Amino acid sequence: MGSAYIDIRRKLHQIPEPGFEEFKTQAFVLDFLGKLPQEHLEVQTWRTGVLARIRGTRSGDRQILAYRADIDGLPIEEETSYSFRSQHPGFMHACGHDIHTTVALGVAEHFANHPLEDDVLVVFQPAEEGPGGAAPMMASEQFAAWRPDFIMALHIAPEYPVGTVATRPGILFANTSELFIDVIGTGGHAAFPHQANDAMVAAASLIMQLQSIVSRNVNPLDSAVVTLGKITGGVRQNVIAERVRLEGTIRTLSEQAMDEVKARVEAMLRGLEAGYGVRTELDYGSNYHQVYNSREETVQFMNWVRESGSAELIACREAMTGEDFGYFLKEIPGFMFWLGVDTPYGLHHSKIEPSEDAIDVAISLVTRYLSAKSASGGKAES
Ligand SMILES: CC(=O)N[C@@H](CCC[C@H](N)C(=O)O)C(=O)O
């Protein structure tokens, strides 16, 4: 099965699309599903997402087991050595969603050919990178009609070898909040700073102040990240900037720490306005709930991986990545795990080249796990 799925991944890799604009990806998924045996398969769309339900042989009496993939790309210019690079300038699958989607198609194909007693729901979710598709998808009529009793998902992990998976019960990924700050001063001629109010100098001071939140305000026994990833502002070298925009993200392992970090950001903006005479505008963009793996489900999965030998299991630590899969896990028992894809470049890097050998590992692992779970009436045994 390897080469067929590698070909699918390469096709998806060439069409990365931003959140809620995954039109080609959705069409690709629908086309693939349309060619599978249709006897047990039902498909619904929700915005640019897709829900594929494979009815089990005892559908109705039994539970619905779900596998979720995110399908959007990132606004990053690709710099890989691939011959099948992105055909969408400025966009790239730099977070492995092409692999996640391919695995989901493999899972759907497997169960369309070999239905379980339980139903299997394969969720193709848009907009994970932002603004967040999980919460509105869960609130949709389509999802409510097919709401699963269990849900699992994976995320590629560049640092782990192919053939390994890593997870832990409890918190796996952080609470996140995007951060958009506009600093607004008064523009002017570079030679007359006293007649202007330089938004760039105020923004530079703010950047350094924000770095002190994690080191000086957050309890050292807690964990938090404040990262600014983008600055824009100014017009040209001899014009005092009237407006500077900072874009970043806040990550914390507790909701309390998130509230504390946000309170400090707001206090610093008030201080900046008083000290520099600028005006500021603050927008937290989208916020994601932490990915909290159900204890019982995760321990069962970890035991099953160890006993079945389906992959090598790493009991990992939590990470400061975010994932709106956390919204599914807030309401539905399940877990997320890392899938080793062995590449020197990290997630969101323009040169990331995940090993495609991991695709078969994942399809086999997910289909075997859901089969074992169904066969044992909910509790997977190896
Ligand atoms: C796994 C991963 O990389 N997820 C993204 C999620 C983005 C959340 C949101 N847009 C933000 O930037 O806060 C991540 O950056 O961790």
Tens-digit pLDDT profile for residues 82-126: 999 999 999 999 999 999 999 999 999 999 999 999 999 999 999
Q: In whole numbers, what is the pLDDT of the chain averaged over residues?
A: 97
Quick one: which atom of ligand 1 is closest to the CA of 128?
6
Question: Can you list the domains of the chain with their CATH numbers?
Answer: 2-172+290-375 (3.40.630.10), 175-287 (3.30.70.360)
How far, in Å, CA of 332 to CA of 329, rounded?
A: 5
Residue 379 pLDDT > 90 = no
Q: Which pLDDT does position 109 carry in this prediction?
A: 98
How far, in Å, CA of 360 to CA of 105, rounded?
A: 12
Q: Which pLDDT does position 238 carry in this prediction?
A: 98
- ipTM confidence: 0.96
Q: Which residues are annotated as a binding site?
A: 95, 97, 129, 155, 348
Q: Who contacts 320 (Cβ-Cβ below 8 Å, separation ≥6)?
A: 173, 174, 223, 225, 251, 253
pLDDT band, very low/low/confident/very high, at 370 (cuts 50, 70, 90): very high
Q: Which residues are annotated as a binding site for Mn(2+)?
A: 95, 97, 129, 155, 348
Tens-digit pLDDT profile for residues 119-134: 999 999 999 999 999 9
Parallel, antiparallel, or unpaired: how do β-strands 224-233 and 243-252 relate? antiparallel
Contact 329, 151 (CB under 8 A): yes
pLDDT band, very low/low/confident/very high, at 1 (cuts 50, 70, 90): very low
How many angstroms does the Cα of residue 288 sit away from the middle of ligand 1?
Answer: 8
Quick one: which atom of ligand 1 is closest to the CA of 176?
13
Tens-digit pLDDT profile for residues 281-298: 999 999 999 999 999 999
How many angstroms does the Cα of residue 175 sit away from the middle of ligand 1?
Answer: 10
How far, in Å, CA of 265 to CA of 68, rounded?
A: 34
Q: How many C-beta atoms lie closer than 10 Å to residue 113's C-beta? A: 12
Segments of the chain assigned E as strands: 41-46, 49-54, 64-70, 119-125, 150-157, 164-167, 170-173, 175-184, 188-189, 224-233, 239-240, 243-252, 279-283, 287-288, 291-293, 312-315, 334-340
Mean pLDDT of 218-225: 95
Active site residues: 70, 129
23-34 and 97-113 are packed helices; what angle lies between their axes, rounded to 10 degrees?
20
Tens-digit pLDDT profile for residues 240-275: 999 999 999 999 999 999 999 999 999 999 999 999
How far, in Å, CA of 341 to CA of 94, rounded?
A: 13
Show the ligand 1 pocket: residues with CB < 6 angstroms: 95, 129-130, 155, 176, 178, 249, 286, 288, 321-323, 347
Q: Which pLDDT does position 234 carry in this prediction?
A: 97
Quick one: which atom of ligand 1 is closest to the CA of 251?
13
Mean pLDDT of 215-225: 95
pLDDT band, very low/low/confident/very high, at 54 (cuts 50, 70, 90): very high
Mean pLDDT of 358-363: 98
How many angstroms does the Cα of residue 70 sit away from the middle of ligand 1?
Answer: 12
How many angstroms does the Cα of residue 129 sit away from the middle of ligand 1?
Answer: 6
Partners of residue 69 on adjacent β-strands: 124
